[in-house]
Amino acid sequence: METVIVWFRNDLRLADNPALHAAVAGGARVVPVYIHAPEEAAPWPAGAASRWWLHHSLASLNASLQTLGGGLILRRGPSVDTLRELAAACGARQIYCNRCYEPALRSRDQALQSALADEGIECLFSNGSLLHEPWKLKTKSGNPYRVFTPFWRACQQQRTGAMPVPAPETLAPLPPALVSLSLAELDLLPSIAWDPGLHETWRAGEAAAQARLRAFAETTLAHYPEWRDLPDKTGSSRLSPHLHFGELSPRQAALTLQQHAQAEPAPNLIRGTEALVRELGWREFAYHVLYHYPHTTDEPLDARFAKFPWREDADSWRRAWRRGRTGYPIVDAGMRELWHTGWMHNRVRMIVASFLTKNCRIAWQQGARWFWDTLVDADLANNSLNWQWVTGCGADAAPYFRIFNPVTQSRKFDPQGGYLRRWLPELAPLPAPWLHEPWTTPPAVQRALGLEIGVDYPLPILDLKQTREQALAVFRSRVRRAGS
């Protein structure tokens, strides 16, 4: 029997996996492989929270493969040497895989494909991560899109391809000559147990992704447009880590939601589906921008912001931001949620990013790096696009003068303070009038509650009005100097 290799990467699922489906359809024995080669993703190897998720996702994938009669071969890189060795050991002349779009991995794959082709080994790439390949959508002038609305309009005018393909029903046993590393040997889990909150919050793997998708469709989809901005509500889909690791494809997500809305065509379900699918569109836009402008992982898309005069004397502010000790409750709640769960509500992500880049005037790249290490859904395309969007220097970005006021945002989107009280238990006794601005709490109230602002919870590290005016002056001066 002919043998082929299926190289799993950011597509850790069996259903709607084009590479796996193509390999199985050919009738060959399939050898599933995962290669751990973080150095090949430099300068953006997976952060600590992502490695945690990867460990559990690989365990889930291996268990699923074993139920079909196969299993997962785990190896360490370099990828080209590992694939060459595996191909020689099992006699494979074809390697099936789904594309990666991150700049370093694109370059790696191109070099690898060429090197293996010289030895008669064919690498066959499929699209397993996106609704549309980034190079297939262009403006009327033939350029990449830099504004989301026309990009999404173009997406909607194109077919998203065939229906999701099924998982294989059976797989042949792995060749006995192939040896796999143990999952523990990949050393993905933390040596210091900082991850209990991740265990409490998440279940990795394809089955967990499908369960979360179904639960969202059944319980939250109808309320999604109204709830998604409210951090105290379970209004987000929380599908982002499953999409990032490929435990769920965007095609599966969109189809499931659309079918749910069609089965019960209530207006609120239709609105919810349209809103969530549009969020999938934003993800597509992020990959479109990353593909055409790979430098935006580290440099602004808008050249006017190159060599921007970020503050170099704000180490104490940056540390307070990371620890959730800024004195602004919505910022601190978000940063503590991030540290505990590896995730943060999207509205709060915008607030904490604005606070860092506008009020603290700390470079967006530093915030992007922190998110990269602490988010379980750390996705290079989304992370880069969103940080530049908030800063005002990226594709379809918010104007530089848009500065989120954390107090106003807190009052608007968490009016009863449920989110704040959950993540800032020291402030839980405070009544709503003072919860959003605890430094204004009268001393008598503090004494009655056994709470001392400045001791039990920090005073604000900066003045919002003053830092806003300073930021506006610097941003405005920079943009004008660049000729805008």
User: Rounded to the nearest 5 degrees, what angle is found at the Cα of 292, between the Cα atoms of 290 and 298?
Assistant: 45
132/160 Cα distance (integer angstroms): 7
Active-site residue, selected from the candidate residues 133, 227, 339, 346: 346
460 upstream amide cis, omega within 30 of 0: no
Residues 307 and 419 in one domain: yes
Residue 416 carries which side chain, given as an amino acid letter? Q
* Tally: H helices and E strands in the chain: 21, 5
Residues 86 and 146 in one domain: no
CA distances 376 to 4, 189, 243, 344, 383, Å, are: 32, 13, 11, 10, 12
The set of residues, in sequence order, having a beta carbon less than 8 Å from that of 402 and lying 6+ positions away, is 354, 392
- Beta strand 73-76 pairing with 29-36: parallel
Residue 346 annotated in active site: yes
Residue 282 annotated in active site: yes
Residues 264 and 313 in one domain: no
For 34, the 3-state DSSP assignment is: strand
Question: Rounded to the nearest 10 degrees, what angle do helices 48-67 and 364-374 cross at?
Answer: 40
121/87 Cα distance (integer angstroms): 8
Instruction: Report the CATH number at residue 370.
Output: 1.10.579.10
Residues 275 and 138 in one domain: yes
- Tell me how far apart the terminal alpha carbons of the chain are, to the nearest angstrom: 65
Residue 189 lies in a domain: no
Residue 364 annotated in active site: yes
- Of 292, 316, 347, the domain-final residue: 292
Residue 199 lies in a domain: no
- In the block, residue with structure tokens 């900066």: 462
DSSP of 316-352: HHHHHHHHT-SS-HHHHHHHHHHHHHS---HHHHHHH
Residues 249 and 381 in one domain: no
Which of 182, 195, 187 minimizes the C-alpha distance to 49?
Answer: 195
Residues 68 and 24 in one domain: yes
**Residues 125, 98 contacting (CB under 8 angstroms):** yes
Count of residues making up the chain: 484
Active-site residue, selected from the candidate residues 317, 387, 389, 434: 387
Which of 63, 58, 79, 56 minimizes the C-alpha distance to 190?
Answer: 56
164/15 Cα distance (integer angstroms): 8
Which of 370, 329, 372 minimizes the C-alpha distance to 351?
Answer: 329
Instruction: Report the CATH number at residue 90.
Output: 3.40.50.620
Residue 182 lies in a domain: no
Residue 351 lies in a domain: yes
43 upstream amide cis, omega within 30 of 0: yes
Residue 183 lies in a domain: no
270/273 Cα distance (integer angstroms): 5
Backbone angles phi, psi at 26, to 5 degrees: -75, -10
The set of residues, in sequence order, having a beta carbon less than 8 Å from that of 304 and lying 6+ positions away, is 393, 478, 479, 482, 483, 484
Q: What's the pLDDT score for residue 484?
A: 47
Active-site residue, selected from the candidate residues 364, 370, 372, 434: 364
Residues 282 and 307 in one domain: no
User: Rounded to the nearest 5 degrees, what angle is found at the Cα of 42, between the Cα atoms of 336 and 303?
Assistant: 80
- In the block, residue with structure tokens 């409750």: 329
Question: Rounded to the nearest 10 degrees, what angle do helices 406-413 and 346-354 cross at?
Answer: 170
Residue 279 annotated in active site: yes
Q: In what order do the strands lie in the sheet with 73-76?
A: 73-76, 29-36, 3-8, 94-98, 122-126
Residue 447 tokens, joined:
């004494």
Residue 376 lies in a domain: yes
Instruction: Report the CATH number at residue 251.
Output: 1.25.40.80
Residues 209 and 356 in one domain: no
CA distances 377 to 284, 338, 347, Å, are: 15, 11, 16
Which of 231, 280, 234, 285 minimizes the C-alpha distance to 256?
Answer: 280
Active-site residue, selected from the candidate residues 282, 299, 339, 426: 282
Residues 265 and 327 in one domain: no
Residues 288 and 313 in one domain: no
Residues 116 and 141 in one domain: no
Residues 257 and 328 in one domain: no
Tens of each residue's pLDDT in the chain, 484 residues? 799 999 999 999 999 999 999 999 989 999 999 999 999 999 999 999 999 999 999 999 999 999 999 999 999 999 999 999 999 999 999 999 999 999 999 999 999 999 999 999 999 999 999 999 999 999 999 999 999 999 999 999 887 667 899 999 999 999 998 999 999 999 999 999 999 999 999 999 999 999 999 999 999 999 999 999 999 999 999 999 999 999 999 999 999 999 988 888 789 999 999 999 999 999 999 999 999 999 999 999 999 899 899 999 999 999 999 999 999 999 999 999 999 999 999 999 999 999 999 999 999 999 999 999 999 999 999 999 999 999 999 998 878 889 999 999 999 999 999 999 999 999 999 998 899 999 999 999 999 999 999 999 999 999 999 999 999 999 888 776 655 4
Residue 427 lies in a domain: yes
CA distances 52 to 47, 55, 202, 412, Å, are: 9, 5, 11, 34
Active-site residue, selected from the candidate residues 226, 310, 339, 426: 310
213/205 Cα distance (integer angstroms): 12
Total domains in the chain come to 3
Which of 326, 298, 369 minimizes the C-alpha distance to 48?
Answer: 369
Q: Quick one: DSSP state of residue 184? A: G
**210: enclosing H helix or E strand:** helix 206-219
Q: What per-residue string of b and e applies to 311-325 under the rule 16 or more CB within 10 Å gives b?
A: beebeebbebbbebb
Could you list the residue range(s) of the whole structural domain that residue 363 is in? 303-481
Residue 272 lies in a domain: yes
- Of 292, 326, 358, the domain-final residue: 292
- Of 292, 322, 342, the domain-final residue: 292
